[in-house]
Amino acid sequence: MSVPADLLAAAKAVRERAFVPYSHFPVAAVLRTASGRIHAGVNVENVAYPQSQCAEASAIGVMVAAGETRIAEVLVLAGGERLIAPCGGCRQRLAEFAAPEVPVHLCHPDGRHLRTDMAELLPHAFGPGHLSAGTPSAAAPDAAARIRTRLPQAAPAVAIVLGSGLGGLVDELEQPEAFDYADLPGFPTSGVPGHAGRLVLGRLSDVPVMCFQGRVHLYEGRPAAAILPMIRLVHELGCRRLVLTNAAGSLRPDVPEGAVSLIADHINLQGSSPLVGGPNFVGLTSVYDPSLRSVLGKAAARLGMELPEGVYLAVLGPQFETPAEIRAFRTLGADLVGMSTVAEAIAARHLGIRVAGLSAVTNLAAGMTPAELSHNHTLAAAKVAGDKLRRLLAAALPDLARA
């Protein structure tokens, strides 16, 4: 592949401005961003050598100052006997803003050149996914770009988060395209059984959907902000309807194991919010959208399925609740209890995404039954309630997409 003429011309123009009074070795780095704009930088030396700055770092600074964060192509121009690649530190800097497949052109003033890519330069880059919270502000555009590379026309109408034991819905999708969370920049992965850790796009009931097959939980040691990459990706792909599902315990004898309940409101006892340190004062008066709830209720009626509404109370976990806690939660007005969902609902409302919530009831809560609760029981019971939930979603999706 030939060297991009515009990038090479930009590199030649700035290389002569490099400040290299000690090494006399000028280097230019040029970045093309996702928008097509070009940003260039040169190396800047200091007599205290550790304070010097590489050309790649300079170019990244220019790019970020211009309000861009996604690199689409890199060119490095330097002299010497051999072609010069970015140093280890700059490879890591570039990896923060460039996907593994981004091309990198190593060029010499005499015309020699080599094309490589970020994956070859830095096969084991340390990135946002290694951190507990990720980098939510940059994660969604990165993940969206990765998805659009394979699915340029991706336009999901409804997003669905599938809770513990409920991931089987993706088996019913037509034209499925799956992405492992580990391959989506910024996405932390879940190590909880029953959560496959995949995003699957496809069609269900002829509606384009995106299904998150698993989620992360605060009890894994993650901050509430760990859910932001998922919700921001929904927004970045233009989807404005989100259905959150979970496996939950019931605090009502009339909503037994195997039932599906529609979430009308929630109580957050997880001790945190995904908006901590960021935007504040998001209104949650109608966090679970009345119109979407109405659509789900009507679909259940058509199926002859009972769909009681309830208030979902979220705890941190991972331990199950005590009978005394369940009595207290009932006094607070809770009908369901679980360890997820509310952080995602809060983040979605902040972004203007409309939310519906469904709980697959896996057990009566502690103290309401002599059985000892366990996660294995949760997964087994979720499959029973999950069949109902899948039928409900399939029936409701056409109307949800229009609501």
Q: Which of 219, 294, 305, 394 is catalytic?
A: 219
Neighbours of 51 (CB within 10 A): 9
Domain holding 214, by residue range, is 130-402
363 annotated active-site = yes
Asked if 317 contacts 339 with a C-beta cutoff of 8 angstroms, the reply is yes
Q: Is the same domain home to 213 and 311? A: yes
The answer for residues whose C-beta is within 8 angstroms of residue 208's C-beta and 6 or more apart is: 154, 155, 156, 157, 158, 201, 202
Contact 354, 244 (CB under 8 A): no
pLDDT at 223: 86
Q: Tell me which of 295 and 137 has the higher pLDDT.
A: 295
The Cβ of residue 287 has, within 10 Å, a number of other Cβ atoms equal to 19
Q: Where residue 131 falls among pLDDT bands split at 50, 70, 90? A: very low
| Residues 325, 14: Cα–Cα separation, whole Å | 66
**Residue (of 292, 166, 147, 149) closest to 233 by Cα position:** 147
Determine the pLDDT at residue 135.
Answer: 42
The span from the CA of 184 to the CA of 143, in Å, is 5
pLDDT band with cut points at 50, 70 and 90 for residue 291: very high
Residues with Cβ < 8 Å from 164, sequence gap 6 or more? 192, 194, 195, 246, 247, 362, 375, 378, 379, 382
Can you read off the two tokens belonging to residue 149?
């590379």
Together in a domain, 322 and 208: yes
- Model confidence at 236: pLDDT above 70: yes
Cα separations in angstroms, 208 against 49, 170, 202, 277, 345: 55, 12, 6, 34, 21
| The domain boundary residue, chosen from 63, 97, 121 | 121
Q: Which of 68, 145, 309, 375 is catalytic?
A: 375
220 catalytic per annotation: yes
375 tagged catalytic: yes
* 64 to 38, 39, 67, 97, 125: CA distances (angstroms): 12, 9, 5, 10, 20
* Residue 363 and residue 303 share a domain: yes
End-to-end CA distance of the chain: 49
From 217, 235, 266, 350, the catalytic residue: 217
Tell me, yes or no, whether 24 and 173 share the same domain.
no
Q: CA 356, CA 318: separation in Å to the nearest integer?
A: 24
Choosing from 58, 164, 246, 250, the catalytic residue is 164
Asked about 339 being catalytic, the answer comes back as: yes
Residues 79 and 136 in one domain: no
Indicate whether 206 and 257 sit together in one domain: yes
Catalytic residue among 59, 340, 381, 395: 340
Per-residue pLDDT of 41-53, as tens digits, reads: 999 998 876 678 9
User: Average pLDDT of the chain?
Assistant: 89
Cα–Cα distance list, 289 to 219, 263, 343, 345, 360 (Å): 27, 10, 16, 11, 19
| Shared domain check, 278 and 350 | yes
Tokens of 309: 């509404």
- Domain co-membership, 112 together with 159: no
Question: Residue 130 — pLDDT band, cuts 50, 70, 90?
Answer: very low
Task: Convert the pLDDT of each residue in 372-401 to its tens digit.
Answer: 777 677 677 767 788 899 999 999 999 999
Residue pair 361/385 in contact by the 8 Å Cβ criterion: yes
Tens of pLDDT along 42-97? 999 988 766 789 999 999 999 999 988 889 999 999 998 888 889 888 998 998 88
| Proportion of the chain above pLDDT 70, given as a percent | 90
Name the pTM for this structure.
0.67
| One domain, residues 282 and 152 | yes
Active-site option among 247, 248, 300, 348? 247
Which is the catalytic residue, given 226, 359, 363, 381? Answer: 363
How far apart are the C-alpha atoms of 111 and 79, rounded to whole Å?
10
Tally of domains within the chain: 2
Burial class (CB in 10 A: 0-12, 13-18, 19+), 375: middle
- Residue 203: count other Cβ atoms within 10 Å of its Cβ: 16
- Do 328 and 219 lie in a common domain? yes
Active site residue 247: yes
Is 340 marked active-site? yes
Q: Which of 59, 98, 157, 195 is catalytic?
A: 195
Can you tell me the distance from the alpha carbon of 215 to that of 160, in angstroms, rounded to the nearest whole number?
11
d(CA 35, CA 146): 15
Q: Are residues 151 and 94 in the same domain?
A: no
Q: How far is the C-alpha of 26 from the C-alpha of 149, rounded, in Å?
A: 35
Domain boundary among 80, 102, 121: 121
